Amino acid sequence: MSNEVNTVAVDAPKKRRKIASLERRKARAGWLFVLPFLIGFVVIYLPMIYESILFSFSKIHSGVGGYTLEFVGFANYKDALLVDPDYVQTLVKGLQQLAFDIPAIIIFSLFMAVMLNQKMAGRGVFRAIFFIPVILSTGIMETIASMDMNQSAMEEGMDDGSGQSAADQLVSSMDLQRLFSSMKVGTEIVDYVVTMINNIYGIVNRSGVQMLIFLASLQSISPAIYESCKIDGATAWETFWKITFPMITPMILVNGIYTIIDSFTTESNLVMTYISNAYSKAGGRELSSAMSWIYFMIVILIVAVIASILSAFVFYQRKSE
Amino acid sequence: MNAQQIEQKPVIKRESKNKIRVDFERTPLKERLKARFLNPYFLGKIIWWIFRMVLMVGISYIVLFPFFTKIAGSFMGPNDFVDVTVRLIPKTPSIDIYRGIIEELGYWAKFRNTFVLSLTCAVLQTLVCALIGYGFAKFKFKGRNLLFLLVMLTMIVPHQTLRLSMVMGFNYFDIFGIVKFFKGGGIELFGYNIKDLGEGVASFFESINILPDEIKMFKYTKELSNGRTREDFKLILKITENGINLCNTYAPMILLSLGGLAFKNGLYIFLLRQFFRGIPDELEESAYMDGSGTFRTFIQIILPLSIPMLITVFMFSFCWQWTDQFYVNMFFITEQPDMLVNLVGIPASLKKDYAGQDLYYSAIRNTCGLMIILPLVVLYAFGQKFLVQGIEQSGLAN
B195 close to B201: Cβ distance less than 8 angstroms? yes
Q: Do A131 and B260 touch (CB under 8 A)?
A: no
DSSP B80: G
Summarize pLDDT for A196-255 with one digit per residue, the tens: 777 787 888 888 888 888 888 888 788 888 999 989 998 888 899 988 888 888 888 888
B chain contacts of residue A140, beta-carbon cutoff 8 Å = 323-325, 340-341, 344, 369, 372
Residue of B136, B379, B388 to mutate for A, most A C-beta atoms under 10 A? B388
**How many other C-beta atoms are found inside a 10 Å radius of the C-beta of residue B111?**
19
Indicate whether this complex's ipTM tops 0.85: no
**pLDDT on residue B192:** 66
Cα A249 to Cα A16, A321, B135, B392: the distances in Å are: 42, 22, 26, 17
d(CA B161, CA A275): 9
Summarize pLDDT for A110-151 with one digit per residue, the tens: 998 988 888 888 888 888 888 888 888 777 777 777 777 766
**pLDDT on residue A138:** 77
Cα A141 to Cα A86, A146, A200, B82, B160: the distances in Å are: 27, 8, 18, 25, 19
DSSP helix/strand/coil, B193:
strand
A112 close to A211: Cβ distance less than 8 angstroms? yes
d(CA B362, CA B340): 17
**pLDDT on residue A165:** 42
Q: Do B259 and A36 touch (CB under 8 A)?
A: yes
**pLDDT on residue B128:** 93
Q: Which helix (H) or strand (E) holds A16?
A: helix A2-39
d(CA B165, CA B261): 14
Percent of chain A's residues with pLDDT above 90: 3
Q: Do A143 and B319 touch (CB under 8 A)?
A: no
Cα A192 to Cα A103, A173, A188, A197, A312: the distances in Å are: 11, 11, 6, 9, 26
**pLDDT on residue B156:** 79
B337 close to B324: Cβ distance less than 8 angstroms? no
Q: Determine the average pLDDT of the residues in A59-84.
A: 74
A306 close to A257: Cβ distance less than 8 angstroms? yes
Task: Name the residue in chain B with its Cα closest to that of A199.
Answer: B62
B chain contacts of residue A261, beta-carbon cutoff 8 Å = 155-156
Q: What is the pLDDT along chain B (398 residues), one digit of tens a residue?
A: 455 555 567 777 887 888 888 877 777 888 888 888 888 888 888 898 898 899 889 888 888 888 888 888 888 888 777 777 777 777 888 888 888 888 888 888 888 889 999 999 999 999 999 999 999 988 888 888 899 888 888 887 877 778 778 888 888 777 777 777 776 666 666 666 666 666 777 677 666 666 666 676 666 666 666 666 666 666 677 777 677 778 888 888 888 899 888 888 988 998 888 888 888 888 888 888 888 888 888 998 889 888 888 998 999 999 999 988 888 888 887 777 788 888 888 887 877 777 777 888 888 888 888 888 899 999 988 888 887 777 666 655 44
Q: Does the pLDDT at position A11 exceed 60?
A: no
Summarize pLDDT for A86-108 with one digit per residue, the tens: 888 888 888 888 888 888 899 99
Spatial CA neighbour of B256 closest among B317, B177, B337, B183: B317
**A-B Cβ pairs (cutoff 8 Å, strict):** 295
d(CA A43, CA A41): 6
Average pLDDT, chain A: 77
Task: Name the residue in chain A with its Cα closest to that of B285.
Answer: A26
Per the document, the length of chain B is: 398
Q: Determine the average pLDDT of the residues in A148-164.
A: 52
Q: Can you give the three-state secondary structure of B290-330, one letter per residue?
A: CCCCHHHHHHHHHHHHCHHHHHHHHHHHHHHHHCCCHHHHH
**pLDDT on residue A110:** 92
d(CA A134, CA A213): 13
Q: Do A139 and B326 touch (CB under 8 A)?
A: yes
Q: Do A285 and B164 touch (CB under 8 A)?
A: yes
Per the document, the length of chain A is: 321
Cα angle A38, A39, A42; round to 5: 85
The minimum CA-CA distance between A227 and chain B, rounded to whole Å, is: 18
Nearest to A204 among B62, B131, B270 (CB): B62
A159 close to A152: Cβ distance less than 8 angstroms? yes
Task: Name the residue in chain A with its Cα closest to that of B157.
Answer: A296
Q: Do B362 and A29 touch (CB under 8 A)?
A: no
A chain contacts of residue B260, beta-carbon cutoff 8 Å = 36-37, 40
Task: Name the residue in chain A with its Cα closest to that of B293.
Answer: A29
- CA-based R_g, chain B, Å: 33
**pLDDT on residue B134:** 92
**pLDDT on residue B135:** 92
Spatial CA neighbour of B373 closest among A209, A150, A132, A208: A132
Q: Does the pLDDT at position A161 exceed 50?
A: no
Cα A230 to Cα A221, A224, A225, B41, B52: the distances in Å are: 15, 10, 9, 14, 22
Q: Does the pLDDT at position A289 exceed 70?
A: yes
A260 close to A302: Cβ distance less than 8 angstroms? yes
**pLDDT on residue A158:** 40
**How many other C-beta atoms are found inside a 10 Å radius of the C-beta of residue B115?**
14
The minimum CA-CA distance between B13 and chain A, rounded to whole Å, is: 44
Q: Do B362 and A149 touch (CB under 8 A)?
A: yes
Q: Do B165 and A150 touch (CB under 8 A)?
A: no
**pLDDT on residue B384:** 82
Count of CA atoms in the C-beta half-sphere (13 A) of B326: 25
Phi, then psi, of B243 in degrees rounded to 5: 130, 180
Percent of chain A's residues with pLDDT above 70: 78
Fill in the amino acid letter for B48.
W
d(CA B119, CA B267): 19
A246 close to A292: Cβ distance less than 8 angstroms? no
**pLDDT on residue A153:** 63
**pLDDT on residue B244:** 78
A261 close to A303: Cβ distance less than 8 angstroms? yes
Q: How confident is the model at residue A16 (pLDDT cuts 50, 70, 90)?
A: low
Phi, then psi, of B244 in degrees rounded to 5: -90, 140
**How many other C-beta atoms are found inside a 10 Å radius of the C-beta of residue B169?**
22
